Copies of this chain bind each other. A is one copy, B any other.
């Protein structure tokens, strides 16, 4: 079942030890600032989203529906210190949505308070597991999937930037979230890496149902076919997505697969070929139509040269969604 989260949000930062611990919350505040009424910080919090500091009562008065736990302690777990505040939010009429590894539902005080108050505890990393097995049935509408040479190379950012750019051009386009930050941003989606393995492709089929012939789903990719830890997730996602178009995402200065010093990055050409070949199982027309690089580690001149050279080498647009925008990718879709 797809998660669905009511907006607007109060962003809970807890006692985050630094800005990085609030990375998820920062992503949400960046992509849907209009949905984030304020931030709630406990004593000692070292993160700041640049949103108004706001009490639960004040946020409730402004109509906030959900408290987003967009912060991680060590190990992605939450702190005992937060529970009083979370209970107070439930009592004030908020749902709580969390992207942490441990479950809100597993904390007895939270579970009891939520039940008593008739509010929801939404653990987006623990999807309610009633997905169907994938069918491979061809669906109507168009689909684009971002894939990558590695984890954390800009797949979500690229998908969201494409959605924004296409919507500006009045194209029918919907971002489809497959990870916690994306789910908070659009208020629905499925955390595919947390689905039971048998249902990976089925969950993605449900995420991206039949649609109008000219409508594009922009599906957030996860992992990489070349990441030994997560390639199964990436392949199931690729088959379930049935993409017509793929964007290859890449971080050009990375020297090894994320978390695995002994595994080098794949060659970009090999990675493009492997994704196209695998995608053809459920959509024989699937094609990589562009490349999105995260060139933050390069200076502007070096980045421009790399983007141009890579685009020429592969005969397709190559952009940095942050530096150059994604207009050439949207052009390529049209």
Interface string of A217-246 (1 = CB under 8 A from B): 000000001101111111111010000000
Q: Please determine whether A195 and B193 come into contact, CB atoms closer than 8 angstroms.
A: no
**Which residue of B133, B226, B236, B259 is within 8 Å of A281 (Cβ)?**
B226
Residues on the B chain within 8 Å of A277, using CB: 274
A196 at interface by CB-CB < 8 Å: yes
Distance (whole angstroms) from the CB of A281 to the closest CB of chain B: 6
A33 at interface by CB-CB < 8 Å: no
Say which one of A80-88, A159-167, A198-206, A291-299 lies at the interface with B.
Answer: A198-206
Q: Please determine whether A198 and B202 come into contact, CB atoms closer than 8 angstroms.
A: no
Residues on the B chain within 8 Å of A311, using CB: none
A54 at interface by CB-CB < 8 Å: no
Counting every copy of the chain, the complex holds: 2
Q: A136-B260, A136-B263, A239-B228 are in contact. Are A233 and B281 (CB under 8 A)?
A: no
What range describes how many residues of A lie at the interface?
35 or more
Q: Please determine whether B201 and A193 come into contact, CB atoms closer than 8 angstroms.
A: no
Residue in B closest to A236 when the chains form the complex, CB atoms: B232
Residue in B closest to A263 when the chains form the complex, CB atoms: B136
Q: A135-B229, A232-B239 are in contact. Are A193 and B202 (CB under 8 A)?
A: no
Residue in B closest to A274 when the chains form the complex, CB atoms: B277
A134 at interface by CB-CB < 8 Å: yes
A333 at interface by CB-CB < 8 Å: no
Additional A-B contacts beyond A194-B198, A235-B235 (12; CB < 8 A):
A133-B230, A135-B228, A193-B198, A194-B197, A200-B232, A201-B229, A201-B230, A228-B239, A228-B282, A232-B232, A232-B234, A274-B277
Query: Could you list 26 A-B pairs, sorted by A, with CB under 8 Å?
Result: A133-B259, A135-B229, A136-B228, A136-B263, A137-B262, A195-B196, A195-B197, A196-B196, A197-B232, A197-B233, A198-B229, A198-B233, A200-B233, A201-B228, A201-B229, A201-B230, A201-B231, A202-B229, A228-B282, A231-B235, A231-B239, A231-B281, A232-B232, A232-B234, A233-B236, A235-B235
